[in-house]
């Protein structure tokens, strides 16, 4: 993701420093009454030790559409749980459909070529703060839709300039809304850069303010995009969003799985490089992966179990 106020990626590379946790866990086939979660989480020895067979994981309302009720004022989180079955912790993550995230920095994009190159989904920059709209958003959003690329809008957060509620309102009104059309992902909140002078508790409050406002306006849980270093530093490794928002982790690595920020059990989406290439796009582009099958990606878009 890119802020319009930066001219290089140096800051991002410093902020995306890898942490210690390199694994999550894969959810097993045995599930209590209720739908499956967003996707199997990355696996590894750390997960095996932390969550043995028989452990339960509350689904909350943030994972792959579980419990979503569009425009409902009396929404209540889903309280069903997943149960890890014997052998549920496997040796490999289920990273599936390929994606990209783009802004006007990519220039004019040939979305038909992007689709033909095997890209299933994209996040497209819409807004920043409460005054900026990406000049290429409307064209990208429309042409991605026409090419049948599942796409969502993202908002580059500026927590030091205005409230989370104000920025969520601006985002929802300028491209961040959601519709059940098989091709629209829930909006994404891009959290990177510095901590904007906010304490960890103030940053937590800002994020929750954005989340609550966005959900009230769209009926969807906003996706959280962040790096392990940013989240751990600026929120103190806060776990308050883990039962609310799918995680889109930024961790540029050739490892099989990303590093997960403290406070989240696993990532639903992974930006694994900022130097990718895709037919239909000139120059480098962020490349992403979805943690699950194409059917689960569609379920996230459609707000279905």
Q: Which residues are identified as catalytic?
A: 101, 190, 192
Q: Say whether 107 sits in a helix, a strand or coil.
A: coil
Chain centroid, CA 244 distance in Å: 12
Is residue 3 within 8 A of residue 157, CB to CB? The reply is no
Ramachandran region, residue 292 (left: φ > 0; alpha: ψ -120 to 50; beta: rest): left
- Give the CA dihedral 35, 37, 40, 43, nearest 10 degrees: -120
The rounded distance, in Å, linking the Cα atoms of 191 and 237 is: 14
The CA distances from residue 124 to 49, 189, 266, 282, 292, in Å, are 38, 11, 23, 16, 21
Tokens describing residue 121? 């989904």
Q: In a 10 Å sphere around its CB, with 0-12 CB exposed, 13-18 middle and 19+ buried, how is residue 182 labelled?
A: exposed
The rounded distance, in Å, linking the Cα atoms of 237 and 240 is: 9
Distance spanning both ends of the chain, measured CA to CA: 29
Place of tokens 């994404």: 188
- The beta-strand segments (E) located in 9-162 are 56-58, 81-83, 95-102, 119-128, 132-133, 150-156
Beta bridge partners of 152: 123
Ramachandran region, residue 280 (left: φ > 0; alpha: ψ -120 to 50; beta: rest): left
């Amino acid at each position: 993701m890119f802020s319009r106020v930066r001219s290089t990626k140096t800051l991002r590379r410093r902020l995306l420093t890898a942490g210690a946790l390199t694994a999550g866990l894969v959810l097993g086939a045995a599930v209590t009454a209720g739908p499956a979660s967003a996707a199997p989480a990355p696996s590894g020895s750390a997960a095996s030790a932390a969550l043995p067979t028989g452990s339960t994981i509350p689904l909350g309302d943030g994972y792959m559409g579980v419990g979503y009720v569009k425009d409902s004022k009396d929404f209540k989180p889903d309280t069903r749980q997943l149960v890890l079955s014997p052998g549920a912790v496997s040796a490999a993550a289920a990273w599936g459909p390929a994606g990209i995230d783009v802004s006007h920095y990519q220039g004019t994009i040939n979305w038909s070529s992007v689709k033909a190159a095997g890209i299933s989904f994209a996040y497209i920059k819409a807004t920043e703060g409460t005054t900026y709209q990406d000049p290429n958003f409307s064209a990208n959003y429309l042409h991605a839709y026409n090419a049948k690329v599942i796409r969502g809008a993202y908002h580059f957060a500026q927590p030091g300039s205005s409230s989370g509620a104000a920025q969520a309102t601006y985002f929802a009104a300028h491209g961040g809304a959601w519709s059940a059309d098989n091709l629209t992902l829930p909006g994404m909140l891009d959290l990177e850069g510095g901590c904007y002078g906010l304490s960890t508790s103030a940053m937590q409050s800002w994020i929750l303010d954005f989340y609550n406002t966005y959900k009230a306006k769209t009926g969807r849980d906003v996706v959280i995009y962040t790096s392990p270093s940013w989240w751990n530093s600026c929120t103190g490794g806060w776990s308050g969003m883990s039962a609310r928002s799918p995680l889109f982790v930024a961790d540029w690595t050739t490892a099989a799985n990303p590093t997960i920020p403290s406070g989240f059990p696993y990532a639903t989406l992974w930006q694994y490089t900022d130097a990718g290439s895709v037919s239909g796009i000139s120059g480098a582009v962020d490349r992403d992966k979805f943690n699950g099958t194409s059917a689960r990606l569609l379920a996230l878009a459609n707000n279905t179990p």
